[in-house]
Amino acid sequence: MNTAELLVRCLEAEGVEYIFGLPGEENLHVLEALQNSSIRFITTRHEQGAAFMADVYGRLTGRAGVCLSTLGPGATNLMTGVADANLDRAPLVAITGQVGTDRMHIESHQYLDLVAMFAPVTKWNTQIVRPSNTAEIVRKAFKIAQTEKPGAVHIDLPENIAAMPVDGRPLTSDNIEKTFASFRSIEKAANAINDAANPLILVGNGAIRSNASEMLTKFATRLNIPVANTFMGKGVIPYPHPLALWAVGLQQRDYISCGFDQADLVIAIGYDLVEYSPKKWNPGGRIPVIHIGSTPAEVDSSYMPIAEVVGDISDSLQEILYRCDRDGKPDPQALGLRPEIRSDYAQYANDDGFPIKPQKLIYDLRQVMGADDIVISDVGAHKMWMARHYHCHRPNTCIISNGFAAMGIAIPGAIAAKLVHPDRKVVAVTGDGGFMMNCQELETALRVGTAFVTIIFNDGGYGLIEWKQENQFGHSSFIKFGNPDFVKFAESMGLKGYRVESVADLIPTLKEALEQDVPAVIDCPVDYRENLRFTQKAGDLSCPI
Ligand SMILES: Cc1ncc(C[n+]2csc(CCOP(=O)(O)OP(=O)(O)O)c2C)c(N)n1
Ligand SMILES: [Mg+2]
């Protein structure tokens, strides 16, 4: 056995099902070793696509997604997706090929110090320099990637080491026991909740990662406390629930801002500052905060918790609940927001403007998707609208990158989602800018048999940046571009292509596209005048209570 073969045995022992990647001369031994493996290698068209696939695989399963590239340019291409996984807290293991250890000390073709390069975008990384260290390195990589907060790790494998003979066997997985919060912290939190007149719950992705959705819904219901969630916390409480206030995270005021204005306590559950700075909802640190999470709170002058309850989230919520009694407390004022939010959402149900308003596009998309179906949003103005208007019944049914927020994630992400859940409908929602960043992976999707629908919000430009420029400077620049004929583009790749020509087209087109057994692309002209209209409305917003 050589080191590459041992590496593959170790990956199998970790339960790896797929490796997403692209071949190169320096990772050939790994590809050879995969010939006799249960692991399916998914050949991608760009290393960035491979890393995004591993990223979303990790986010949906909680187990590290694995991606592979060659050295130098392959590795630099891989990096954006690796960084995305790291800041989105998705477990991922990246493996790069490398020149042999005999030519690292001199100027060498395609050589870059990849351990140095990946260090800032991973939780941990290393190079295999002794074949006999392989099993330890792989086990350590998976352990670190999958432990809270999860993230990316990187293993660099020089080609001469990959070919060297080695004895060894995989180290078996350990069972990490849950850790529980101290009773002192639980009591502190319970007392503060008992004393609060108008508390508000803010939930982030940590609650989804810890499968705390059910307990959290019970906690909020029993204590009658309204729940807002970040973009990456979507679905943590079912949206029809009377306490659900939906997503926060726009970089401007929205109805939910009124909830924060009037709260006298924020109970942050699995909340991650990387997603939405507390300076946005708690400038000056006026509102006392309770931090409930699996790791201690990050330091921020707007987020200095009066209690930190660090341990298994469901257990912490249960223990706090035992100690809380809010009977007789008046209804939380933030609930006054709910009718406003609901009517804002519903007013687009029959909107017949064309190009289609983003709110209407998403309203109709929601109608054709089931509770367990999955959408992956790309990054742009469409993401803001998806976060605000695409409501979820369950966790992990609307995947948004909001830690690193890299354009180009939606199409590769949808491939991973369809591999993980072949029985569910999957839709990639993307801007025309983000589409053109990784649309080559639609060929991968066709080849590996993942039929999903891509819907393009077509505005002929970088809409989110235009929105920002208009807000900040009153005009926009350098944001317009031309697009190919997306229908012909799709058809030329053997995919189904559709163009929405009227509002009435949208639902039938979506339904037809979702029935196809090949990937489908829908080009949908969108009316982004709504972006500034929204800013105007939010600026004039007076709190209903
Ligand atoms: C890789 C990457 N490059 C640049 C950005 C900055 N950025 C954020 S949104 C955006 C515009 C997105 O345009 P498009 O995909 O067309 O979506 P739209 O905003 O028009 O809905 C840009 C350039 C980013 N987040 N990621
Ligand atoms: Mg656009």
- Alpha carbon of 456 to ligand 2 centroid (Å): 8
Q: Is the peptide bond before 149 cis (omega within 30 degrees of 0)?
A: yes
Element (H, E) at 287: none
Task: With cut-offs at 50, 70 and 90, classify the pLDDT of residue 538.
Answer: confident
Ligand nearest the Cα of residue 406 is 1
pLDDT digits (tens, 9 = 90+) for 99-133: 999 999 999 999 999 999 999 999 999 999 999 99
For ligand 1, is residue 380 a contact (CB within 6 Å)? yes
Q: Could you list which residues have their CB under 5 Å from ion ligand 2?
A: 431-433, 459, 463
Lowest mean pLDDT among 240-249, 355-364, 429-438, 519-528: 240-249
Distance separating alpha carbons of residues 396 and 391, to the nearest angstrom: 12
Distance separating alpha carbons of residues 450 and 436, to the nearest angstrom: 19
For ligand 1, is residue 383 a contact (CB within 6 Å)? no
For ligand 1, is residue 405 a contact (CB within 6 Å)? yes
pLDDT digits (tens, 9 = 90+) for 237-292: 999 999 998 898 777 777 788 888 889 999 999 999 999 999 999 999 999 999 99
Do residues 460 and 380 touch, judged by C-beta distance below 8 A?
no
Classify 72 in phi/psi space as left (phi over 0), alpha (psi -120 to 50) or beta. Answer: left
Ligand nearest the Cα of residue 466 is 1
For ligand 1, is residue 465 a contact (CB within 6 Å)? yes
The share of the chain scoring above pLDDT 70, in percent, equals 97
Whole-model pTM: value is: 0.97
Task: With cut-offs at 50, 70 and 90, classify the pLDDT of residue 423.
Answer: very high
Q: Nearest residue CA, atom 8 of ligand 1?
A: 380
Q: Nearest residue CA, atom 11 of ligand 1?
A: 462
Q: What is the pLDDT of residue 543?
A: 64
For ligand 1, is residue 81 a contact (CB within 6 Å)? no
For ligand 1, is residue 525 a contact (CB within 6 Å)? no
For ligand 1, is residue 369 a contact (CB within 6 Å)? no
Averaged pLDDT of the chain: 95
Q: What is the pLDDT of residue 387?
A: 95
pLDDT digits (tens, 9 = 90+) for 203-248: 999 999 999 999 999 999 999 999 999 999 999 999 999 999 889 8
Q: What is the pLDDT of residue 545?
A: 47
Q: What is the pLDDT of residue 6?
A: 98
Distance separating alpha carbons of residues 60 and 172, to the nearest angstrom: 23
Question: In 247-304, which ranges are continuous DSSP H helix?
Answer: 255-262, 278-281
pLDDT digits (tens, 9 = 90+) for 288-331: 999 999 999 999 999 999 999 999 999 999 999 999 988 767 66
Task: With cut-offs at 50, 70 and 90, classify the pLDDT of residue 344.
Answer: confident
- Alpha carbon of 490 to ligand 2 centroid (Å): 18
Task: With cut-offs at 50, 70 and 90, classify the pLDDT of residue 542.
Answer: low
Atom index in ligand 1 nearest the CA of residue 457 equals 21
Rounded average pLDDT over 42-47: 98
Residue in the block written with tokens 């990639």: 428
